[in-house]
Structure 1
Amino acid sequence: MRTRTALSVPIAALAAALTLSACGGGGQDAEPEQKATEGFPVTVEHAGGEQQLKIDAKPERIVSLSATATEMLFDIGAGEQVEAADQTSNFPEEAPTEKDLSAFTPSVEAITEFEPDLVVLSDDMDGIAAKLKKVKTPVLHLPAATTLDDTYEQMRTLGAATGHADEAEKRTGEIEERLTEIADDAKKEIGGEKLSYYHELDDQMFSITSKTYAGEVYGLFGLTNIADEAKEQAGGYPQLSAEFIVEQDPDLIVLSEGGDKAVEELEGRPAFDTIGAVENDEIAQIDGDLSSRWGPRVVDFAEQVSEAAVAAAEKN
């Protein structure tokens, strides 16, 4: 089995409508305004649980500086509240991606141009959170998840922060249930096979260990990660040598970066033709977005891992 095609494994302007209603002065205008703030104020924990943020009213102009947060917001029903999303937010299709809005080199001016009542970010680059607080802009900091439980917690946090707590709770339950189903079905087909895998992040042979977020997903299928044997763990992202990979002889190789020739280039590395995964044509290519983002599309990532693992078991 060889997958060569990458699969794409962190606001409509409702505020304007609310303003028009509020300016009408009639008794019938008061009800929509009340509904908009129902359930608020709320206080949520963020920044890894080290901070709290009080949100007085339902945010109607959200700026997302995290591709994962953007996916989460749309998944829990808060997409119409997203006024702008950073240049890496390429999913879903309807996300209001702004090519000049950067999460890596954030600008207070560029962000406040959208008049946000809430900014969501995963990385506090250049101290942007403090800078935004100085101009009275609320910031919700949701760092990269390290476990699946982090994903569920962040989705619930966004749900509470945006007025979609029930939707977020429902979606986290659905995602958790679906992941269990995918893993259980795959393990039945894999049977007693003890499969090993190598997940390659780039052509410099950086990989992941089982202690990373993506590594936990692989763990759902009972797969053995060869990178766990590396002497230098590098915070969960070790750089492996060609000799080490050949020696470990993984049953499955998954590439999360590279173009159409990535598989061919890997096969051409010295001695790689002796690796079981290469001999059996068990090299899968998965869109890096699926394995690097910790949002609802983790289900898509798990489905691709399942397909690859089952195929490898059949040839092992």
Structure 2
Amino acid sequence: MSRRTPRLLAATLALAALTLGACAEKTSETPAPSGSPTTAAFPVTVGSLTLEQRPEKIVSLSASATEMLYAVGAGPQVTAVDDQSNYPADAPKTDLSGYQPNAEAIAAKNPDLVVLSDDRNKIVDQLAALKIPVYLTPAAQTLDDSYRQITELGLLTGNATAGADVVQRMKDDIAKISAEVPQRVQAPTYFHELGPELYTATSKTFIGSIYALAGLENIADAADADGKSGGYPQLSQEVIVQANPDFVFLSDVKCCQQSAATVKARSGWSGINAVRNDQIVELDDDVASRWGPRVVDLLRAIVDATNK
């Protein structure tokens, strides 16, 4: 998704998740086959939302939710997605905004289900007044949150079996990748960069939990010990240099043109272990900022980079 300001980025993810360009690279999740739903028993109820019939005109205003919908095989039912939904490449992208949602513009798409990541501008109430069903997929705090959202989207779209299959594949893949992490006497340390302003994510965030699966230690945890930054503190260059991380992971490559070369050129960074040992890892901004099925790809990228 396109880069927001650091504060907005932190707020979006501080609802709890991963955090940020466009990419349609190969993913470990194979989208479920399109066609007949795997489970079509309606009405279906998830929380306070009940759908009497299988939705055929779904509008997604969340890039993560769009990825989830296609993964469970609901792609043919998706008729419009927001301006940040760039994966898969054939998703019907529009100028609809998930950050400044407009009820009239959404209603003009005649949706029978709208999927949102959060309730900006009280859009849920506005759509409810228009009798348009809404399902919220707030930023995940844990992998279980991701699994739940995928499962529920499978149920709501009539693709329950496919949704369950996606979740099981994710769990199996994550377990397999985690098993490849070597037992170390001391965990390597890392700095995860959200933007060149040096905002980062602690271990208490969704992105931090993925790094924990890779057996890494986060240098940012001490900076937000009181939780006042919501898990997304801004570090100074001095703090990072003093912490001397073994790895630097960049999730601001496409949005902000950061790279191993730009990091090496930063004043005072030449002595950092990550720089001296060429352990600066350029991540895909989108994969590193969403909580859908491609978190498997994120974990794989981290583990592969740290196991060399």
Q: TM-score, normalised by structure 1?
A: 0.82
Query: Is 1:302 the equivalent of 2:299?
Result: yes
Which residue of 2 is the match for residue 195 of structure 1?
Answer: 188
For 1:257, the aligned partner's letter is D
Larger helix proportion of the pair? 1
Report whether the alignment pairs 1:115 with 2:117. Answer: no
The one of 70, 76, 91 equivalent to 1:80 is 76
Alpha carbons 1:36, 1:58 under 8 Å: kept: no
Structure 1 match to 2:50:
54
* In structure 1, C-alpha distance between the alignment counterparts of 2:38 and 2:189, rounded to whole Å: 51
- Whole-angstrom CA distance in 1 between matches of 2:139 and 2:179: 27
Q: For 1:144-223, list aligned pairs within 5 A.
A: 144-185=139-180, 187-188=181-182, 191-223=184-216
Equivalence for 1:41: 43
Q: Match for residue 286 of structure 1?
A: 283
Q: 1:244 aligns with which of 207, 215, 239?
A: 239
Name the aligned partner's letter for residue 283 of structure 1: I
2: distance between equivalents of 1:82 and 1:7?
A: 18
The answer to whether the Cα contact below 8 Å between 1:36 and 1:57 also exists between their aligned partners in 2 is no
Work out whether 1:138 is the aligned partner of 2:133: yes
TM value normalised by structure 2: 0.84
C-alpha distance in 1 between matches for 2:138 and 2:219: 27
Q: 230-239 or 202-211, which moves further after superposition?
A: 230-239
Counterpart code for 1:108: A
Letter in 1 for 2:242: E
Contact 1:256 1:291 in 2 (8 A): yes
Deviation of 1:97 (Å): 0.8
Corresponding residue of 1:263 = 260
Alpha-carbon RMSD across the aligned residues, in angstroms, is: 2.1
Task: State the alpha-carbon separation in 2 of the partners of residues 60 and 116 from structure 1.
Answer: 8
| Closer, same or farther: CA 304–37 of 1 in aligned 2, 3 Å | closer
8 Å Cα contact 2:174/2:299 also seen in 1: yes
For residues 196-253 of structure 1, what are the alpha-carbon distances to aligned partners after superposition, in whole Å with 9 as ceiling and x for unaligned? 1100100110010011111000000111000012156411001011111111111000
CA distance in 2, matches of 1:126, 1:203: 29
Q: 1:224 aligns with which of 193, 217, 232?
A: 217
Q: What is the percentage of aligned positions where both structures have the same residue?
A: 43
Q: 1:261 to 1:148 in 2, by over 3 A?
A: closer
Corresponding residue of 1:20: none
2:6 match: none
Would you say the 8 A contact 1:206–1:237 is kept in 2?
yes
Task: Give how far 1:263 is off.
Answer: 2.5
User: Which whole-Å deviations, capped at 9, do the CAs of 1:154-208 have from their partners, x for residues lacking one?
Assistant: 00110111111111011101001101111111x13x6445211100100110010
Paired residues, number = 274
Name the residue aligned to 1:129: 124
CA gap 1:37/1:155 in 2 versus in 1, 3 angstroms = closer
Cα distance between partner residues in 2 of 1:310 and 1:97: 37
Give the Cα separation in 2 of the matches to 1:89 and 1:237.
24
Measure how far apart 1:307 and its partner are. 1.4
Distance 2:210 2:258 in 1: 26
